[in-house]
Chains A and B, each alone.
Chain A
Amino acid sequence: MAEINSKIPQGPLAEKWTNYKAHQKLVNPANKRRLDIIVVGTGLAGASAAASLAEMGFNVLNFCIQDSPRRAHSIAAQGGINAAKNYQNDGDSVYRLFYDTIKGGDYRAREANVYRLAEVSNNIIDQCVAQGVPFAREYGGLLDNRSFGGAQVSRTFYARGQTGQQLLLGAYSALSRQIGKGKVKMYTRHEMLDVVLVDGRARGIITRNLITGKIERYAAHAVVVATGGYVNTFFLSTNAMASNGSAAWQCYKKGAYFANPCMVQIHPTCIPVKGDFQSKLTLMSESLRNDGRIWVPKKLEDAKALQAGKKKGKDIPEEDRDYYLERRYPAFGNLVPRDVASRAAKERCDAGYGVNNTGLAVFLDFSDAINRLGKEVVKQKYGNLFDMYEEITDENPYETPMMIYPALHYSMGGLWVDYELMTSIPGLFAIGEANFSDHGANRLGASALMQGLADGYFVLPYTIQNYLSDQIQVPRFSTDLPEFEAAEKAIKDRINKLMNIKGKETVDSIHKRLGHIMWEHIGMARDEKGLQEAIQMLKDLKKEFWSNVFIPGSGDDQNTELEKALRVADFLEIGELMARDALNRAESCGGHFRVEHQTEEGEALRHDDKFMYVACWEYQGEDKDPVMLKEDLNYQFVTPQTRNYKK
């Protein structure tokens, strides 16, 4: 069995990253010109990495599936980005951000990685301001902050309700500058379908040109995967339509470990599902929980009246409202972490207190905030979100409380990486949401933007040099090598096979069925029997997909149905691995909740004695069970405790 080596540097926690940088191997400027790096993805992690590597002098080939690098799904992040600046003088520090993140992740992340993340968080804000990112400011001209779930300080920087957009456009502008200089060669509307290994090292990728349908080969000295997460496995999620797990999944199938696949985040504040035709779910920023109060009725008869449409939220008098987060978690109230808030909403709805026609919604109420601050202030803070809500639901949130329900949002799990962000395949790196590294079992709000940019601007550009320093003698590769030949042929065979099934089911109809299985069995509450059933159901569905899917058109041409089919083929397998991982992890932690493992009060019950590890899954071949390797988490600097947001 392979040995897991996370390559964490020696020394005290606060000195590890400094020591690493002081002793890592570097590549001199003349040699950087001779080295090529493929970066797949142009979100916060991909764009910032591609730009930074090109600025250093490397030649970068950058790929994205959209028509422009500016459209990656990071653009949709709303709320903000954390940093330990302590500009608000509320006692924040690098250590406190580190501690909140480790605790928020329910003690399933690596201490050294998280500390480094907190350390570079401040550089990110400096960098973004220098690029012209228009963060919110106070009248004195200095930067404004707000607070987010899981923290008792105000450390979140924001640009109205579109922080992700502004940060991504900052990274995109830096990337555009390098494309203009010719240091980055940009390939839009290209989808990575495989990674190519030569002598055990990642040396290139195979892509499909989404306009021509042509299969293309690209070679480089190293490959960086920054392709985001895999929660579209659930069909309905807050992710963009094209977000997918295929690039990461192909890396897994070539030997890269997949870590903690069961750890996905269900975001508490999304607009509830309304019908079968729905294509995606819309997130309402977590920042709304700063001023909005979450409640359901205290009386079942009121809930029934709401479900039947006989009453509206404003008809329920104050004394009959159950502000259940404030009741259960007095210290954090409506600002508990996402996993806690989501489960609490499910608990109330399961008990029959849901407030819409499906019974799967709770209220998020701004009437107190409007009384306290005035409508104008609320409008200034959240106006665009309120408008969006009204456009979708046809209800005015200034007058009647919003309805929200949890939805799939983010994957904490992903490709396993060591401290250098390298996967278990030499020369193959994974950054941003695509890797598993920093969020443990649950990600805190405003930490995804921080991690994506930390990896891309400040971590990978250093650590990749440690790998590339002994590659300077390696000449550029030809894509005529037999390894490229074989990878391309395998892709073409796979496409031909899909095109020739000519069955009766559409890709979306199978994807929706996959989503139902995932939500019912591998969603917010999981149990042994349900997971075992799910594994069998997913195997059956996969069989059906490969024998009964129908894709019109041709494989050698633009074909949007084929694009979806290739992704769904992988989602079916990702779902199965998620179920396996959830089955193995017989404890509740963060976003992973096993009903057999809860306290009397219904809180998550961890088993640190048995599961204080990262589950790293190794692919063994088609129709063979994967093998699970453990990376033990040795907490040396903090003592894992039961998360307590009550006091």
Chain B
Amino acid sequence: MDKDIKVTLKVWRQKGPKAKGQFETYPMEIHQSVSFLEMLDILNERLVKEGKEPIVFDHDCREGICGMCSLYVNGHPHGPATGATTCQLYMRRFQDGETITIEPWRSAGFPVIRDLMVDRSAYDKIMQAGGFVSVNTGGVPDANAIPIPKKDADLAMDAAACIGCGACAAACKNGSAMLFVSAKVSQLALLPQGRVEAARRAKAMVAKMDELGFGNCTNTRACEMECPKNISVSNIARLNREFLKAKLKD
């Protein structure tokens, strides 16, 4: 049964990208049926009433699909729950008397903007390098013209479930974006519509990822463990295959 609990929050506060940050401590009394972000709302409301500036953090849909929320809670991207985003985390996951540490993503690819908000535009840039099928609006064949085996469509959907939140790179000791990149490369390579330019896509996206300062993959699988959408590292194997094939053709 949900009950009221007392927790101590240690929250990373940082005025701006170049400012020096530090932890601030906030005691909280909270009901366990409250979501983690609602708890931050309540804290912010309190700070505003005290005339202080609220904690800045990214959030929007609050149902685990937009990929906007991005907190490092007790050392885990999106906190202790598996297969869930920070906004889907409820206080019943925490014990009475617990200290909860809240930090922004810590990754070279995602510089801090303020407090808990980071800049993830690098992921957009990787997508712009090749995360698409090159078709214009109009003039495409009928949707049922090419049958696609259900198994392939399901695998493509598994990969396409990525929400681009950045937890994979934030979880990786090398700051690698391989899980993110491989999810898109896999999705499109599995479908006949995306197959046509699969090689070009894999090369372009990997090159952009390297250029933006993301690290290499050393198969620790931390990304898969922390991914709120359970994206599988088998996608990374598929990306490597596509990448090798592309290189062999060069």
**What residues of B have a CB within 8 angstroms of the CB of A508 in the complex?**
41, 45
Chain A nearest CB: distance from B1 CB in Å? Answer: 9
- For A52, A66, A176, the residue with the greatest tally of chain B CB atoms inside 10 Å of its CB is A176
Chain B nearest CB: distance from A184 CB in Å? Answer: 10
The interface bits of chain B over 90-121 (1 if a CB of A lies within 8 angstroms of the residue's CB, else 0) are 10100000000000000000000110000111
* In-complex Cβ contact of B133 among A130, A280, A553 (8 A): A130
Pairwise interchain contact B121-A552, C-beta atoms closer than 8 A: no
Which stretch of A92-100, A261-269, A341-349, A387-395 is in the interface? A387-395
**Cα distance, A375 to B187, chains bound together (Å):** 28
**A71 lies within 8 A of chain B by Cβ:** yes
**B175 lies within 8 A of chain A by Cβ:** no
A243 to chain B: closest residue by CB: B60
Pairwise interchain contact B128-A282, C-beta atoms closer than 8 A: no
Interface set, chain A 66-101, CB cutoff 8 A to B = 66-71, 73, 75-76, 85, 87
* With known contacts A135-B153, A394-B2, A461-B137, A176–B52 Cβ distance under 8 A: no
Chain B nearest CB: distance from A33 CB in Å? Answer: 16
Interface set, chain A 163-180, CB cutoff 8 A to B = 164-166, 169, 172-174, 176-177, 179-180
* In-complex Cβ contact of B132 among A141, A173, A186, A241 (8 A): A173
**Cα distance, A277 to B58, chains bound together (Å):** 19
Pairwise interchain contact A132-B35, C-beta atoms closer than 8 A: no
* In-complex Cβ contact of A66 among B68, B119, B136 (8 A): B68
**What residues of B have a CB within 8 angstroms of the CB of A560 in the complex?**
54, 56
Which stretch of A8-16, A119-127, A517-525, A585-593 is in the interface? A119-127
**What residues of A have a CB within 8 angstroms of the CB of B193 in the complex?**
129-132
**B248 lies within 8 A of chain A by Cβ:** no
**A471 lies within 8 A of chain B by Cβ:** no
**What residues of A have a CB within 8 angstroms of the CB of B66 in the complex?**
66, 71, 73, 75-76, 240
* In-complex Cβ contact of B144 among A134, A143, A461, A558 (8 A): A143
Pairwise interchain contact A176-B128, C-beta atoms closer than 8 A: yes
* With known contacts A68-B164, A162-B161, A127–B187 Cβ distance under 8 A: no
Pairwise interchain contact B121-A68, C-beta atoms closer than 8 A: yes
Chain A nearest CB: distance from B173 CB in Å? Answer: 24
The interface bits of chain B over 129-163 (1 if a CB of A lies within 8 angstroms of the residue's CB, else 0) are 10111111110111110011110011011001101
**Cα distance, A172 to B124, chains bound together (Å):** 10
A271 to chain B: closest residue by CB: B63
- For B47, B157, B193, the residue with the greatest tally of chain A CB atoms inside 10 Å of its CB is B157
- For B65, B136, B157, the residue with the greatest tally of chain A CB atoms inside 10 Å of its CB is B65
**Cα distance, A70 to B128, chains bound together (Å):** 12
**Cα distance, A138 to B144, chains bound together (Å):** 11
The interface bits of chain A over 242-282 (1 if a CB of B lies within 8 angstroms of the residue's CB, else 0) are 10000000000000000000000000000000110111101
Pairwise interchain contact B67-A71, C-beta atoms closer than 8 A: yes
Interface set, chain B 50-95, CB cutoff 8 A to A = 51-54, 56, 58-68, 81, 83-84, 88, 90, 92
**B20 lies within 8 A of chain A by Cβ:** no
**What residues of A have a CB within 8 angstroms of the CB of B238 in the complex?**
none
**A479 lies within 8 A of chain B by Cβ:** no
**A465 lies within 8 A of chain B by Cβ:** no
The interface bits of chain A over 490-502 (1 if a CB of B lies within 8 angstroms of the residue's CB, else 0) are 0000000000000
Chain B nearest CB: distance from A360 CB in Å? Answer: 16
Interface set, chain A 131-187, CB cutoff 8 A to B = 131-132, 134-143, 159-160, 162, 164-166, 169, 172-174, 176-177, 179-180, 186
**A355 lies within 8 A of chain B by Cβ:** no
B126 to chain A: closest residue by CB: A176
Chain A nearest CB: distance from B115 CB in Å? Answer: 10
* In-complex Cβ contact of B191 among A52, A75, A132, A140 (8 A): A132
Pairwise interchain contact A457-B137, C-beta atoms closer than 8 A: yes
The interface bits of chain A over 518-558 (1 if a CB of B lies within 8 angstroms of the residue's CB, else 0) are 00000000000000000000000000000000101100001
Complex A-B: 28 CB contacts under 8 Å: A68-B67, A70-B127, A71-B67, A85-B144, A126-B141, A126-B142, A129-B143, A130-B133, A130-B135, A131-B193, A135-B153, A137-B150, A140-B147, A142-B144, A166-B157, A177-B132, A240-B60, A241-B59, A277-B34, A277-B38, A277-B42, A279-B37, A506-B45, A506-B49, A508-B45, A552-B51, A558-B56, A558-B114
- Contacts A141-B149, A552-B47 supplied; 5 other A-B pairs, CB < 8 Å: A130-B133, A142-B147, A143-B144, A176-B128, A242-B60
